Structure 1
Amino acid sequence: MKTRVVRVTDWTRPVPAVYREVRAATPEAPEGKPPLLFVPGFGHGAWVFAEHWLEHAASRAFPAHAVSLRGHGGSGPAPEATLRAYAHDVVQVAASLPRQAVLVGHGAGALVVAHALARYPARAGVLVAPVFGGWGTLGAALRRNPVGTLPAVFGGALRLNYRQLFSRELPDAAARDYASRLGRASSRAQWQLLRHRAPERAVGDPPLLVLGSPDDRVVPPAALTRTAGRYGAAPLLFPGMGHDMMLDARWREPIDAILDWLDKDLVR
């Protein structure tokens, strides 16, 4: 019989409870497809998926949900949150859904999803423009946006320029508006992201898709390829798009690719 090592910290230092904001879109004609749980990255709330992707997924018969990690969006405050607490939020929301869910993480939310996959037997996982951290990622961020990145090294807020997040196809007014709505992660979680502890192996080895853009000004192409290689795959690329693919001008392309992949590989 195979046994699993008990994580001592889970019962000696349980994650504090907090209110979690969850937004959802329900298909008009359910077809039994697995629910999707979207997880935004640092500074982003569930609203970034509610803008386009939730309703679009529901229009293709996928029940769609998005959670704001603690301290983000409409969820409860958590100034000392850790990556473990963020992963706990994802697992708790996923476990509350009526069927085994597909976890979809964006940016640093993709790293949170990777950690959650080690604790929750997901139907599948999707990593969108994944930020898995490490000093190499920090170096790239410092070169592109030193003023906004350097404070995060010393516990301050990470401030991303709107042109780091979006392509030039998205009008400036919309890009500035989206960027103005971003918040921040806890300084502890930011520091853990920089130190980069590799996630444990996913429970049940679910199928996993990695996608991003070679023109992403947050995730260098080499980092995207490296993350995909960790899961034995090549990334699905969308040239010309920015980091926040779910809000960019061509937002339909990546979500349709995700849903097409799920329809082909998961839906029977």
Structure 2
Amino acid sequence: MSTKATPVVFIHGLWLHATSWAPWVDHFQRAGYHASAPGWPGVPDTVLEARAHPESIADHGIDDVVEHYTAAIASLPVAPILIGHSFGGMIAEKLLGLDLAAGAVAIDAAQIKGVLPLPLSALHATLPVFRNPANKHRAVSLTSDQFRYGFGNAVSREESDALYEQWSIPAPGRPLFEAAAANFSMHSPAAVNTHNDHRGPLLLVMGGQDRTVPEAITTATLKQYRHSSAVTELLEFDDRGHSLTLDHGWMEVADAVLIWLEKHGL
């Protein structure tokens, strides 16, 4: 357990509001950390506001999000630990590669440049955005059925619907289009410095039942770090889906992260 109020910054991904991290923030504060969960640029303070004003969320890309969290990190007294989910996991990896964090945990992180597998389930989960090229500049909402497929497939229908009603918000399409084109772009915003030998430790967490970021993507991400001597580890929850940070089993994941942080003196 941390003996200092080390900052921990939680980074949400697409289709979830920052307040979905509230149980984690409380849990980590009780463990001795100074935890916060700032939202992406343009995301209003509440779920209801975000749903009412999707235009404020639209057209923010990966670089915008990185710059937004870079500014948040600059206001902290020391480099924080970053914990991100889905696209938030990718953002955490980028910031760690830039030496802006003491360590990072990327949970079911979106694919970075260099990752080649693109499972059919991942394509299906992101189809609500890719079905219309104009969605690159829009914020797109999921239906409860789409959320069930991409997030809540490993929990009951009742729980999936409850999570959808509580936390789901529109998401900008731009990051998905940028990630999809990453391997065809020399200067893709989805590129991460995976060769950094001096960065802090990184833990990749994957859910074995995840359809949005299947195991193949996370294991391929791990291989991207093979040329770095910095700590990079993998942890799997084989019965969990993409909702593993917010469904009834979230504390099991959170406690595993706390144990890993203690192991590495973070």
Class of the TM-score when normalised by the shorter of the 2 chains: 0.7 to 0.9
**Matched residue, 1:192:** 178
In structure 1, what is the Cα distance between the partners aligned to 2:243 and 2:76?
Answer: 26
Please tell me whether residue 231 in structure 1 is matched to residue 225 in structure 2: yes
**1:91-170 aligned within 5 A:** 91-132=70-111, 136-137=117-118, 139-142=120-123, 144-145=124-125, 148=128, 150-151=130-131, 154-155=134-135, 157=140, 159=142, 160-169=146-155
Closer, same or farther: CA 229–193 of 1 in aligned 2, 3 Å: same
What is the identity percentage for the equivalent residue pairs of Structure 1 and Structure 2? 22
Q: Deviations over 1:139-191 (max 9, x none)?
A: 4323x45863543655262634224312544x433321322342233232221
**Matched residue, 2:163:** 178
Q: Deviations over 1:206-226 (max 9, x none)?
A: 111111111112112111111
Partner of 2:244, secondary structure, is coil
In structure 1, what is the Cα distance between the partners aligned to 2:93 and 2:259?
Answer: 22
Aligned residues: 236
**Matched residue, 2:229:** none
Partner of 2:37, secondary structure, is strand
Determine if contact 1:83/1:192 at 8 Å carries over to the other structure.
Answer: yes
Q: 2:27 aligns with which of 20, 45, 56?
A: 56
Structure 2 regions of 5+ residues with no counterpart?
Answer: 51-55, 183-187, 227-231
**Matched residue, 1:252:** 251
Give 1:74 shift.
Answer: 2.0
Deviates more, 1:239-248 or 1:71-80: 71-80
Deviates more, 1:195-204 or 1:217-226: 195-204
Partner of 2:9, secondary structure, is strand
User: Which AA in structure 2 matches 1:172?
Assistant: R
Partner of 1:70, secondary structure, is coil
In structure 1, what is the Cα distance between the partners aligned to 2:43 and 2:157?
Answer: 24
- The TM-score, its normalising length taken from structure 2, stands at 0.77
Please tell me whether residue 38 in structure 1 is matched to residue 13 in structure 2: no
In structure 1, what is the Cα distance between the partners aligned to 2:106 and 2:244?
Answer: 12
- The TM-score, its normalising length taken from structure 1, stands at 0.77
Determine if contact 2:116/2:220 at 8 Å carries over to the other structure.
Answer: no
In structure 1, what is the Cα distance between the partners aligned to 2:119 and 2:132?
Answer: 10
In structure 1, what is the Cα distance between the partners aligned to 2:172 and 2:119?
Answer: 17
In structure 2, what is the Cα distance between the partners aligned to 1:87 and 1:237?
Answer: 26
Structure 1 vs Structure 2 CA RMSD: 2.8
Give 1:203 shift.
Answer: 8.6
Determine if contact 1:106/1:127 at 8 Å carries over to the other structure.
Answer: yes
Structure with the largest fraction of helix:
2
Deviates more, 1:108-117 or 1:251-260: 108-117
In structure 2, what is the Cα distance between the partners aligned to 1:190 and 1:227?
Answer: 17
Determine if contact 1:166/1:244 at 8 Å carries over to the other structure.
Answer: yes
Give 1:248 shift.
Answer: 1.6
User: Which AA in structure 2 matches 1:48?
Assistant: S
**1:3-42 aligned within 5 A:** 31-42=3-14
Determine if contact 2:83/2:89 at 8 Å carries over to the other structure.
Answer: yes
Give 1:136 shift.
Answer: 4.2
User: Which AA in structure 2 matches 1:214?
Assistant: G
Determine if contact 2:151/2:241 at 8 Å carries over to the other structure.
Answer: yes
Structure 1 regions of 5+ residues with no counterpart?
Answer: 1-29
**Matched residue, 1:15:** none
Closer, same or farther: CA 152–132 of 1 in aligned 2, 3 Å: farther
Determine if contact 2:129/2:173 at 8 Å carries over to the other structure.
Answer: no
The higher-RCO structure (CA 8 Å, 6+ apart) is: 2
Determine if contact 2:151/2:212 at 8 Å carries over to the other structure.
Answer: yes
